[in-house]
Amino acid sequence: MKALVLIGGFGTRLRPVTYSVPKQLIPLAGKPMLYHVLDLLPPDVEEVALATGYKSDLIEAYVRAHPPRWPVTTVPEAEPLGTGGGMKNAGGGMSDPFYLLNSDVIASVDLGALAARQAGHGGLGTMTLTEVEDPRPYGVAALDEHDRITAFVEKPEPARAPSRWINAGISVWHREVLDAIPGGRPASFEQEVLPQLLERGVYGFRYTGFWDDAGTPARLLRSQQLLFDAGRGGKGTVPSGTFGTGPVALMPGATVRGASFGKYVTVGANAVVEAGAYVENSVLMEGVQVDRDATVVGSILGPKARVHPGHRVTGQVLAEHGEA
């Protein structure tokens, strides 16, 4: 099977970091969000098409420098085509069926089991569904007794949500789905295309493991916690020569001697955390500088951002080269 990954969004909710870096390259628990998504793919996937748009050149360069285990091609959009348009644009060479992944969801879905479920019912597609407390920000499925999806409501009012099972952004589809998407113009797959496909047999695959959509600062940090707790980052310790609890994921070239760490920290490539500084529940991107006795808690610091000696940063998102 092949896989199509949607990675063309602007990541507006993670500005100002995403003014210079696509959100999928933000490291969580020591590696970019995109690579945690790719990790879901079975080893025998033949090819991955990245449907890119915003900052496509940065994604392509990163993937070239850090090749994943599967052959990857990038298929950029000149203008944002939305999720449906992105599928149509990049789906030409897809297998039948193929995997479709959002590039900002953190989960441990078994894609082999998802594909087996698809083969078992013979419908057009199978969507992973995850149960959430508050389905309002998501696409919500109504299901019959065979878990066939009978309706799909995007971002419903509380009283109109048909269930608490939402689109987890991980699905498998027959190629025919691409014929249902209008070509040459933007289209939302979830809002414009999916409702028309339900009568052709779209099934839910109920998934109960960890899941989050890393699209906002709070959810991104929660996603990092989930990944660490699932053992996908550093161990529950701090690097040698430092103090505190961890876990801390150190990326290549990071320098942290004499610093202290609370839980859930990524220290990006070539970042420096000086002696006496304290960092907890945060992502420090490439080249960040946290000076002596500074404190960083619950924050995302963009590339080469700097926190000056003794300064405190709590619950902030700093742009590339941002200062505090």
Q: Which residues in this chain contact ligand GTP in the complex, by CB under 6 A?
A: 6-13, 51, 53, 77, 80-83, 86, 102-104, 215
Q: Which is nearer to ligand GTP, 13 or 148 (CB)?
A: 13
Taking the complex as a whole, how short is the minimal distance between the CB of residue 274 and ligand GTP, in angstroms? 33
Residue 208 to residue 166: CA distance in whole angstroms: 12
- What's the longest Cα–Cα distance across the chain? 62
Q: Which residue carries 């090819």 as its tokens?
A: 47
Taking the complex as a whole, how short is the minimal distance between the CB of residue 216 and ligand GTP, in angstroms? 7
Spatial contact of 174 and 124, defined as CB atoms under 8 Å apart = yes
DSSP states of 6-41: EE----GGGTTGGGTS-GGGSEETTEEHHHHHHTTS
Q: Which is nearer to ligand GTP, 13 or 175 (CB)?
A: 13
Instruction: Please tell me which residue in 31, 55, 88, 155 is annotated as part of the active site.
Output: 155
Could you tell me what percentage of the chain is helix, strand and coil, using 3-state DSSP and rounding each to the nearest 5? 25, 30, 45
263 is catalytic: no
Distances in Å between the Cα of 273 and the Cα atoms of 129, 277, 297, 300 are 40, 7, 13, 14
Spatial contact of 57 and 46, defined as CB atoms under 8 Å apart = no
Taking the complex as a whole, how short is the minimal distance between the CB of residue 56 and ligand GTP, in angstroms? 9
State the number of CA atoms in the 13 A half-sphere of 127 facing the CB: 29
Taking the complex as a whole, how short is the minimal distance between the CB of residue 185 and ligand GTP, in angstroms? 11
Active site residues: 155
